[in-house]
Amino acid sequence: MDHDVKISALNVNFYYGKTLTLKNISLDILQKKVTALIGPSGCGKSTFIRLLNRMNDLIPGARVEGQILLDGLDIYHPRTDVVSLRRRVGMVFQKPNPFPKSIFDNLAYGLTISGMRDKRFIEHKVIDSLKKAALYNEVKDRLHDNALMLSGGQQQRLCIARCLVVEPEVILFDEPAASLDPISTRKIEELILELKDEYTIVIVTHNMQQAARVSDFTAFMYLGELVEYGDTERIFTVPKEKMTEEYLSGKFG
């Protein structure tokens, strides 16, 4: 793989209390590519993706071993600033989670918390991000309506737009279409394919077809271990591991 590595995980172990839920994961995520994490429920794919922006810090009793490097920066180093890390590594969650605020305020939030006061800049950035997230045309006349009035699919694109406002380098998608209908799902997938020109994308999905459609690289995880990782086309056509082949052909999962 002759691309630039954006995120590099080295021998990562993760514990919930005493339970080891990720076992010795090492994996390089490449710049401006879509990397999909697949595997059956409970395989640790969501846990892994939430390590990349330190969302697991919120869980009491959680512990990480090993290293995760973002452009060489050790994100679990005690001196690493979590706030600036999370501005570089954005996240879109499984269930759309807009704030109970207006569409505009949802997007402006990421800017105002960092002290931005320039109203014209904020407005420009909000509209720009809504356009990038393919939502602007649907909401341009009601930017000051409550975001919770939007449909599920629109809410999820709003969350993507909200994430784009802070100009992250990496966007993590944790099963972004799990609660959406097929049409909304397709819109999200199209969006991911557009966004990969500018952003490094990691997506967790339990939908194998979705991984095949959107990703350049696929990692198959099972019971906390990384079973196989490589070029998506190769993984889906000639998997090296028997377990990968069995999962992809629907024998378990």
Partner 1 sequence: MTRQTFSRTRPYTAGRRQAVRASDLTQALGFLFLGACTAFALFFLGSILYFVIVRGAPAISWEFLTSVPRRAMTQGGVAPAIVGTFYLTLGAVAFALPLGLACAIYLTEYSPKTILVNIIRLSIANLAGIPSIVFGLFGFAVFVKVFGFGVSILSGSLTLGIMALPGIIAASQEAILAVPQSYKEASLALGATHWQTIARVVLPSSLPGILTGVILNVGRVAGETAAILFTAATFYTRGYPNSIFSEVMALPYHIYALMTEGTHPESQTLIAYGSSLILLSLVLAVSALAIILRQRQRRVYGP
Q: Does 162 bind partner 1 (CB under 8 A)?
A: yes
Three-class HEC string of 190-228: HHHHHHCCCCEEEEECCCHHHHHHHCCEEEEEECCEEEE
Q: What residues from 99 to 118 belong to the interface with partner 1 (CB under 8 A)?
A: 99-101, 109-110, 113-114
CB of 46 to partner 1, least distance (A): 12
Q: What is the DSSP string of 56-105?
A: GGGSTTEEEEEEEEETTEETTSTTS-HHHHHHHEEEE-SS----SSBHHH
Stretch that binds partner 1, among 127-135, 158-166, 210-218, 228-236 (CB under 8 A): 158-166
Contact flag: residue 148 with partner 1 (CB under 8 A): yes
CA-CA distances (angstroms) from residue 205 to 10, 51, 185, 232? 22, 16, 12, 14
Question: Is 86 a binder of partner 1 (CB under 8 A)?
Answer: yes
When binding is defined by CB under 8 A, the residue of 18, 41, 58, 182 that contacts partner 1 is 58
Sequence-distant (6+) residues with CB within 8 A of 19 are none
User: What end-to-end distance do the CA atoms of the chain give, in Å?
Assistant: 29
Minimum distance of partner 1 from residue 91's CB (angstroms): 4
Nearest distance in Å: CB 245, partner 1: 35
Q: Is residue 8 near partner 1 by the rule CB under 8 A?
A: no
Which residue of 95, 131, 186, 206 would you call a contact of partner 1, by CB under 8 A?
95
Phi, psi of 43 (to 5 degrees): -85, -10
Nearer to partner 1, 113 or 238 (CB): 113
Interface with partner 1, residue 98, by CB under 8 A: yes
Q: Which residues partner with 201 through β-bridges?
A: 34, 171
84 binds partner 1 (CB under 8 A): yes
Which position among 83, 119, 120, 182 is part of the footprint of partner 1 (CB under 8 A)? Answer: 83
The strand ranges marked E within 120-176 are: 170-174
Please say whether the beta carbons of 243 and 222 come within 8 A: yes
The footprint of partner 1 (CB under 8 A) covers: 53, 55, 58, 60, 83-84, 86-87, 90-91, 93, 95, 97-101, 109-110, 113-114, 146, 148, 159, 162-163, 166
